[in-house]
Amino acid sequence: MNVLKTMRNMGSLKILLWIIVISFVGAMFTVWGTGGSSDNSGRNWLGEEYAVRVDSRSLPPAVFRLEYRFYAERIRQMLGDNFREDFLRGASKTVAEGMVRQLILADMAKDYGLSVSDEELAAAIQRMYNFRDPKTEYPAMISRMGVTAEEFQTLLRYELLSQKLSDLLANADYLSDAELAKRYAEQNEGVKAMVAVVSNASFLSKVAPPTESEVQARYDRDKTKLQVPEKKTFEYILLSPAAIRNGLKVDDAQVKAYYETHKSDFSTPADQRRASHILIKVDEKAPAKEIEAARKKAQEIYAKAKAGANFAALAKEYSQDSSAAQGGDLGWFGRNQMVKPFADAVFDQCKAVGDIVGPVQSQFGFHIIKLTGIGGETKPFDEVKSQVRQALLYKDPAFTDKVATLYGEAEKAVTEAKDDAAMKAAAAKYGFTIVPVTNPVGKDDAIPGFGMDPAVQAVLAKASKGKWSQVAKVRDGVARFKVTSILPAHQATLAEVKGKIAAELRDEKASSLARAAAQILASSAKDAATLESDAKKDGYPVQQSGLLKASDPIPGAGKAPEVNKALLAAKVGAVVGPVQGTNSWIVAVVTEHAAVDPKKFGQEKASFLMTQQQQAAEQMMDDYVQRRRGALEKDKKIAINQALLDSMEPSASRQAS
């Protein structure tokens, strides 16, 4: 993988420098020590055993595994305690794709006459890490890494070759001072503006459904371009540790026993309280008569509650809060989770469970409050029974081990199933379901149960009718598919695209209405204040933006480069728009223009030039890889060892434990 590019993207400089150091160790062992001969052509001495192969170049599995370990360590370091093995799903593919890129770039480097000598390898490591005794330290370190010196040398040569190529291309990229200043201004100049957004969606209700003749006319105009891709119906199985876990039978005695030995896990913190309330709403800025009327009503309800009336029933009858349906229950909370008057009443005035206080005034109105729980005590078993069962299944070694074992068995059975009989037998034994999907699905459609998962889409695309597909690795486990019918690709009939065309016509009409409304808004806007006033009066979202640069999203409208461009070109006080955004029209008044500081540009000119050169070099390399890869794939000269990639994926059975 392109470590230097990854370093720029991930910002993990210390980790990557150490990785590069360790990699150089292998190369120097080869160059200075007893590591064997080098082969500058990049040929693989391991014959047909490869991780990735591009034309005549290849990298061996050991190098791939080492690069994967480096990648995984970067992820672990970045995420710290939040890291989970599951985050590495798909990492093997990322690493493999990076290696393919390295091998393709080797061709580009060759075109420029670039190579990496043994002396350069030695000089590089000496600059970065001063080993006292390379001949004794290298072998020990390489042995611990589990690779040969030759494998280190190959990996390192490609990395250094890519960097050499990047440096050459960067230095070759000429930028005049004028062009550099222009780019700097584009990336650092900004404006502030009052921005109003007139969305198309707000006019959909005013658009009548298109007529049959309108739909027909649009279909006739576009029918040669309206193509329906191949679609499939299928059956699938999804096997996951969760499915195995949920299918386990757990009797009440086991749940109760776990509760008794883990009671502390099912208690609330001592600084929490539980309460129910009845709210009579009134704005704190309302006229005095309204506030007094609300207080009087709350007082009457309080009296009923104190007299012994059912508090939950009173809440359902009188409370104007969303908790009324639950009898006013607010659950458990800490003091800081509630507004101060409410919290003070619960934590300071209520002394025992069952205490009722009120009316308590807050910014929301008047509350009658009943204390229903004091933290620090274990919750009754019946209250937390389902929670205890989940804890038992997820934490008790007897159950986690059982889930892992059963999942391993089930995964093997599913993977090896050759026909319907074997799959149905596995389903019956391990409790998963064969799910039919009867609504045809195309390659660009979301797959029921899986969404837009690329791994699933790739497997389904290759699946044959009547046969169970290869296994797809998914986040929750593994899946297999059996295609039941195939609808060939064809020119769409009117019936197939009628709904889509009708929606497009409605959207176009709504956009036209939104544009007209935005035009009226723009024509009446004299300044930022009038734009804000008029937009609010008409019900359009409007707000003062922060500093907006060329690529920043527009508040309330998202990415809209044309809007940014128009704003940056306008003078302070100018009305901009309407400019079309994504599903909306934007009107704005520029309130401030932050021009580029020439002095700051002078200070940053050298580093900015370097960044621009590096980006230009990276773009040239990416363009080359894209072009070259297309040709190689057409000739089937790129191969990735999929079995190796699959073996590096996080084990679903390990996730269960």
pLDDT for residue 41:
33
pLDDT of amino acid 44: 35
Please, what sign has the CA dihedral across residues 303, 304, 305, 308? positive
CA 267 from chain center: how many Å? 34
Q: pLDDT per residue over 286-314, tens digit each?
A: 899 999 999 999 999 999 999 999 999 99
Q: What was the pLDDT predicted at 234?
A: 93
> Over the Cα atoms of the chain, what is R_g?
33
Structure tokens at 200: 């198309």
> 38 pLDDT exceeds 60?
no
**Top-confidence range, 166-180, 513-527, 640-654:** 513-527
Contact criterion met (CB below 8 Å) for 45 and 39: yes
Task: Label residue 354 by pLDDT band (50, 70, 90).
Answer: very high
- Per-residue model confidence (pLDDT) at position 173: 58
- Domains by residue range for the chain, with CATH: 3-173+620-656 (1.10.4030), 190-224+496-594 (no CATH), 228-239+405-491 (3.10.50), 268-374 (3.10.50.40)
Q: What is the pLDDT of residue 46?
A: 32
| Average confidence (pLDDT) over 630-649 | 82
Q: Report the share of the chain in percent with pLDDT over 90.
A: 23
Question: Measured between alpha carbons, how far is 118 from 125 in angstroms, rounded to an integer?
Answer: 11
Highest-scoring range by mean pLDDT, 233-247, 260-274, 605-619: 233-247
The vertex-210 CA angle with 207 and 213, nearest 5°, equals 155
What's the confidence (pLDDT) of residue 161?
85
Give tens-digit pLDDT for 153-168: 777 788 888 888 888 8
Q: Looking at the predicted structure, is the pLDDT value of residue 347 above 90?
A: yes
Mean pLDDT of 79-107: 83
Does position 78 have pLDDT exceeding 90, yes or no? no
The dihedral built from the CA positions of residue 64, 69, 70 and 74, taken in this order, carries a sign that is positive
More confident residue, 59 or 219: 219
Residue-level pLDDT at 294:
94
3-state secondary structure 584-643: EEEEEEEEEEECCCHHHHHHHHHHHHHHHHHHHHHHHHHHHHHHHHHHHHHCCCEEECHH
Q: Who wins on pLDDT, 140 or 339?
A: 339
Is residue 248 over pLDDT 90?
no
Q: Of 264-268, 305-309, 390-394, 641-645, where does the model show the most confidence? A: 305-309
Q: Which residue has the tokens 């060329």?
A: 550
pLDDT confidence band for 91 (50 / 70 / 90): confident
* Cis ω before 561 (30° cut-off from 0): no
- For residue range 99-126, list pLDDT tens digits in order: 899 898 888 888 888 887 877 776 766 6
Closest CA to 610 of 111, 184, 1: 184
Better-predicted residue by pLDDT, 181 or 360:
360
Which whole number is the average pLDDT over 342-352? 93
Output the pLDDT for position 141: 65
190-201 pLDDT, tens digit per residue, is 888 898 999 888
Average pLDDT over residues 354-363: 93
**What's the pTM?**
0.43
- Mean pLDDT, range 233-261, rounded to an integer: 84
Query: Does 420 or 1 have the greater pLDDT score?
Result: 420
The gap from C-alpha 117 to its chain's centroid, in whole angstroms, comes to 42
Per-residue pLDDT band at 129 (split at 50, 70, 90) = low
Concatenating the DSSP letter of every residue in 198-212 gives EEGGGGGGGSPPPPH
pLDDT band for 130, please (50, 70, 90 cuts): low
**CA 43 and chain centroid, separation:** 38
Q: How many residues does the chain have?
A: 657
Residue 415: pLDDT band with limits 50, 70, 90: very high
Separation of alpha carbons 447 and 434, rounded Å = 15
Residue with more model confidence, 140 or 423: 423
Mean pLDDT of the chain: 80
Residues above pLDDT 70, as percent of the chain: 87
DSSP string covering 160-213: HHHHHHHHHHHHH----HHHHHHHHHHHH-EEEEEEEEEEGGGGGGGSPPPPHH
Q: What is the mean pLDDT of residues 323-341?
A: 87
Crossing angle, helix 149-172 and helix 134-145, to 10 degrees? 100
